[in-house]
């Protein structure tokens, strides 16, 4: 997945504004194409649109447990793609707003909401620069699975999530664990991704996590590796109070379709006589002013 090795630049020197803009543009082009393709091929392993329309719930246990009862709450879903998870939160009773930087994803999300007969607002925006209109509007901000590795400015992302919350509101973040992200292939075992540092990693991405043999030409992408420590520090720097940090050695999905699935249907990352984490989860609160 990673073509380039980490550079030796400091965090402040690692990428210029021009580099960030180019990375954002190439990533948006990639996700525009994925938004058009996902859920349209019978071999898609992640997006079954027809079963979703028939009532299938796409959310997983970790995020539902952290979010709790969402009925009647205002929920902002960052990196919503074409809306299946966003609309699953709506089915649980939340008033939902989805944000994604891909205009093709937003167009498709609005069409999916109409087909499903569900109320939702979908906004095209860079999650590193959320619109002021979203400030202090939400009880929950949720982002799950394949999120922060696409973010050049982790501090800005956390600050935007915090600003969107009302005092007392919570951020729920579930993502691939940085240890697991270092792995390119499990069998044979190849690690080809840095643990943290935020240095941009450039690649010509082929296929998609939803369909490894997708008939898609290689597409330029830029991703950014962050450690657990960097992620938690960014949350704290945004003024969020971390309630819970989980590191999960078994999961309902590995997000990348490279790990073995056990007889119980769960995925694990076996190394020697133990298991390494596949996912991490973070719950953090925007404190009330008097705290």
What is the model's pLDDT at position 210?
67
Q: Identify whether 188 is preceded by a cis peptide bond (ω within 30 of 0).
A: yes
- As a whole number of angstroms, the distance between CA 256 and CA 146 comes to 9
Percent of the chain clearing pLDDT 90 (strictly above): 75
**pLDDT value at 17 more than 80:** no
Residues in the chain: 291
Mind listing the pLDDT tens digit for each residue in 4-16?
333 333 343 456 7
**pLDDT value at 200 more than 70:** yes
What is the model's pLDDT at position 7?
39
Task: Supply 290's token pair.
Answer: 């008097």
CA angle 130, 131, 137 (to 5 degrees): 90
- Residue found by looking up tokens 């078994």 in the block: 250
- As a whole number of angstroms, the distance between CA 88 and CA 98 comes to 11
What is the model's pLDDT at position 169?
98
Mind listing the pLDDT tens digit for each residue in 44-77?
778 889 999 999 999 999 999 999 999 999 999 9
- As a whole number of angstroms, the distance between CA 82 and CA 40 comes to 12
- As a whole number of angstroms, the distance between CA 271 and CA 65 comes to 28
CB–CB of 230/153 below 8 Å?
Answer: no
């Amino acid at each position: 997945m990673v073509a380039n090795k980490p550079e030796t630049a400091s965090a402040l020197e690692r990428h210029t504004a021009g580099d960030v803009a180019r990375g954002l543009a190439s990533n948006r082009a990639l996700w525009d194409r994925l938004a058009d393709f996902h859920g349209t091929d019978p071999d898609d392993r992640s997006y079954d649109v027809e079963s979703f329309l028939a009532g299938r719930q796409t959310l997983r246990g970790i995020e539902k447990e952290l979010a709790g009862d969402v009925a009647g709450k205002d929920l902002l879903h960052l990196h919503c793609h074409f809306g299946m998870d966003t609309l699953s939160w709506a089915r649980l009773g939340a008033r939902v707003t989805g944000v994604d930087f891909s205009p093709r994803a937003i167009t498709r999300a609005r069409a999916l909401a109409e087909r499903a007969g569900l109320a939702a607002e979908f906004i095209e925006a860079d999650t590193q620069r959320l619109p002021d209109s979203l400030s202090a509007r939400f009880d929950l901000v949720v982002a799950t699975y394949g999120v922060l590795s696409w973010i050049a400015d982790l501090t800005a992302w956390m600050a935007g999530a915090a600003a969107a919350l009302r005092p007392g509101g919570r951020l729920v973040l579930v993502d691939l664990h940085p240890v697991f992200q270092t792995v390119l292939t499990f069998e044979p075992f190849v690690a080809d991704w840095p643990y943290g540092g935020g240095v941009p990693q450039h690649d010509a991405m082929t296929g998609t996590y939803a369909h490894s043999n997708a008939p898609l030409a290689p597409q330029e992408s830029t991703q950014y590796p962050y450690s657990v420590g960097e992620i938690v520090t960014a949350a704290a720097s945004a003024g969020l109070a971390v309630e819970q940090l989980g590191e999960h050695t078994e999961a309902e999905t590995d997000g990348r379709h490279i790990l073995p699935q056990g007889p119980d249907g769960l995925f694990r990352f076996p190394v020697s006589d133990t298991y390494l984490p596949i996912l991490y989860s973070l719950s953090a609160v925007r404190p009330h002013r008097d705290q």
